[in-house]
Amino acid sequence: MSESRTPIVETDLTRPFWQATKQRRFLLQYDPKADRYQFYPRPISLYSTAPLVWREVKGEGTLIAHTLCHTPAPGFAALTPYILAIVQLAEGPRVFARVADAKYEELKVGQKMRIVWGDELGDGREYLFAPAN
Amino acid sequence: MKWLQNRGIAIVGFADTPLVRNSGRSAAEIAGEVVGKLLAEARLERRDIDGLAVTLAMSEAANPFWSNLLAEHLGLSPRWCQATDLGGASNLGNIARAAAAIQAGMCEAVICLGADAVSSHDATNQTGHRTEFCTPVGYSGPLVAFGLLSTAYNARFGNPERALAKLAVAQRAGAVANEIACEVLRKPITEQDYLASRFVSHPLRLLDCVMRCDGGYAVLVTSTQRARELGYTQMVHPIAYRELVNFDPGQTVDELTTSGFSVVGPEALNDAGVRPGDIQMLAPYDDFLIAVLLQLEQIGFCRPGQGAAFLAERAIGFHGDLPINTGGGQVSAGQPGLAGGGVNLIEALKQLFGKAGPRQKPGVRNVMATGIGVIPYAHNWSSSNVAILERSA
Q: What is the pLDDT of residue A8?
A: 83
Q: What is the pLDDT of residue B351?
A: 98
Q: Are residues B97 and B165 in the same domain?
A: no
Average pLDDT, chain B: 97
Chain B nearest-CA distance from A112, in A, is 15
Interface of A with B (CB under 8 A): 5-11, 14, 36, 40, 46-47, 64-74, 76, 79, 81-82, 84-86, 92-98, 104, 108-110, 126-127
Residue B235 domain-assigned (yes or no) = no
Q: Are residues B94 and B26 in the same domain?
A: yes
What residue spans define the domains of chain A?
15-131
Q: What is the pLDDT of residue B201?
A: 98
Q: Are residues B99 and B153 in the same domain?
A: no
Q: Which residue type sits at B178?
A: N
**List of chain A residues whose C-beta atoms are within 8 Å of the C-beta of residue B205:** none
pLDDT band at B254 (very low <50, low <70, confident <90, very high): confident
Q: Are residues B154 and B98 in the same domain?
A: no
Q: What is the pLDDT of residue B307?
A: 98
- The percentage of residues in chain B with a pLDDT greater than 70, rounded to a whole number, is 100
Chain B nearest-CA distance from A89, in A, is 12
**How far is C-alpha B28 from the chain's CA centre?**
20
pLDDT reading at A1 higher than 70:
no
Residue B366 domain-assigned (yes or no) = yes
Q: Are residues B308 and B355 in the same domain?
A: yes
Q: What is the pLDDT of residue B393?
A: 77
E strand or H helix that includes residue B154: helix B142-157
pLDDT tens digits along A49-78: 999 999 999 999 999 999 999 999 999 999
Residues B148, A46: C-beta atoms closer than 8 Å: no
pLDDT reading at B233 higher than 80:
yes
Query: B50 lies in which domain range?
Result: 2-122+213-229
Residues B136, A81: C-beta atoms closer than 8 Å: no
Interface test with B, best of A13, A96, A104 (most B CBs within 10 A): A96
Chain B nearest-CA distance from A115, in A, is 13
Pair type for strands B80-84 and B51-55 = parallel
Residue B248 domain-assigned (yes or no) = yes
- Identify any residues that bridge with B259 across adjacent strands, giving them in sequence order: none
Q: What is the pLDDT of residue A3?
A: 78
Q: Which of residues 122-151 of B touch A (CB under 8 A)?
A: 129, 131-141, 143-144, 147-151
Q: Are residues B197 and B314 in the same domain?
A: yes
pLDDT band at A133 (very low <50, low <70, confident <90, very high): confident
pLDDT tens digits along B47-95: 999 999 999 999 999 999 999 999 999 999 999 999 999 999 999 999 9
pLDDT tens digits along B161-218: 999 999 999 999 999 999 999 999 999 999 999 999 999 999 999 999 999 999 999 9
Q: How many CB atoms lie within 10 A of CB A123?
A: 11
Least confident of A1-5, B25-29, B173-177: A1-5
pLDDT band at A4 (very low <50, low <70, confident <90, very high): confident
Q: Are residues B64 and B170 in the same domain?
A: no
Report the CATH number that the domain containing residue B6 is assigned in CATH: 3.40.47.10
Q: How many CB atoms lie within 10 A of CB A131?
A: 18
Q: Are residues B68 and B160 in the same domain?
A: no
SS3 A86: strand
pLDDT reading at A121 higher than 60:
no
Which among A14, A65, A70 has the least Cβ separation from residue B151? A65
The tally of CA atoms less than 13 A away on the side-chain side of residue B74 is 34
Interface test with B, best of A29, A67, A86, A127 (most B CBs within 10 A): A67
Q: What is the pLDDT of residue B283?
A: 98
**How far is C-alpha B175 from the chain's CA centre?**
15
Residues B148, A85: C-beta atoms closer than 8 Å: yes
DSSP-derived secondary structure for A4-38: PPPPP---TTTHHHHHHHTTT-EEEEEETTTTEEE
Q: Are residues B219 and B279 in the same domain?
A: no
pLDDT band at A123 (very low <50, low <70, confident <90, very high): low
Least confident of A25-34, A124-133, B114-123, B128-137: A124-133
Name the closest residue on chain A to residue B202, using Cα atoms: A68
Q: What is the pLDDT of residue A2?
A: 59
pLDDT reading at B319 higher than 80:
yes
**List of chain B residues whose C-beta atoms are within 8 Å of the C-beta of residue A85:** 148
Chain A nearest-CA distance from B142, in A, is 11
**List of chain B residues whose C-beta atoms are within 8 Å of the C-beta of residue A69:** 138, 140, 144, 147, 201-202
Chain A nearest-CA distance from B392, in A, is 45
Residue ranges of E strands in B62-154 = 80-84, 109-116
Q: Are residues B250 and B287 in the same domain?
A: yes
Number of residues that this document lists for chain A: 133
Residues A7, B140: C-beta atoms closer than 8 Å: no
Q: What is the pLDDT of residue B54?
A: 98
A&B contacts, CB < 8 Å: 110
Residues B135, A74: C-beta atoms closer than 8 Å: yes
pLDDT tens digits along B103-154: 999 999 999 999 999 999 999 999 999 999 999 999 999 999 999 999 999 9
Which among B134, B147, B377 has the least Cβ separation from residue A67? B147
**How far is C-alpha B259 from the chain's CA centre?**
16
Q: Are residues B31 and B146 in the same domain?
A: no
Contact B327, B347 (CB under 8 A): yes
Overall domain count for chain B: 2
Rounded to whole angstroms, the Cα distance separating B374 from B132 reads 16
Residue B146 domain-assigned (yes or no) = yes
Interface test with B, best of A3, A10, A45, A69 (most B CBs within 10 A): A69
pLDDT reading at B22 higher than 90:
yes
